[in-house]
Structure 1
């Protein structure tokens, strides 16, 4: 039985397919109502303080330092993630009777997924895989799904 199902969700089509699979798994559990957790990880950009230079504010258009600009970018990314997760949660909740929670973290994407899964004692991770074409098909998995599948503390379902 999968009681806690983690879905790393970034709004992409593969993430949407992964969420659909997680919802189907959750619906199939009958009496025991699992929890589906939508996790969005905001990738952090390296910020070297010795390279702090002027940039234009997203909010005001005024000149600000690059570190302040990055802070504005993260705030905007977090707001967009909150809105997207809330919308997706509402969509799923209309057709389900299990618990759906959302979480937003910042950091290295695959590391944060693994860390969250360990800390929250997740039973299953359902993750989307970006399709590849041409020469890049040689690598059959994306870097995040590959890293998660190799290091996860629980089973991982990769949805193509």
Structure 2
């Protein structure tokens, strides 16, 4: 099983990246094979044909399980993540990929954002999303039990789909 983390935070090395990596490790039982901190792809995201962006797209499309993560910006996922997702073909760009949408925010007001906003885009691109998304409070995710609770409840379903 190839596991990848995609973090769409405008700040490199963000809490979003950390939370996504923690979730991927908890669900799969090991460190991810690949980590894509989207902001590091730079201006290549603004067009088509950039070799680094193409390599990142190929990595994601060739993965079995991908955690797609974003902070909550203006009640939705970031433009940086949107630019990356635009690189995938509609319908089958994420074919055979099991995706987990993850979003972080300052408070519980946007707790449905992963399912209402990020998950539909992943499905439109062909991903399978058998579990609900996860929303974490960015100031407490390292101390609370939300990742462990999610993993206990949903890792068996994710692994069953991957089998």
TM-score, scaled relative to structure 2: 0.37
Q: Greater strand percent: which structure?
A: 1
| Greater Rg by CA | 1
Greater relative contact order (CA < 8 Å, ≥ 6 in sequence): 1
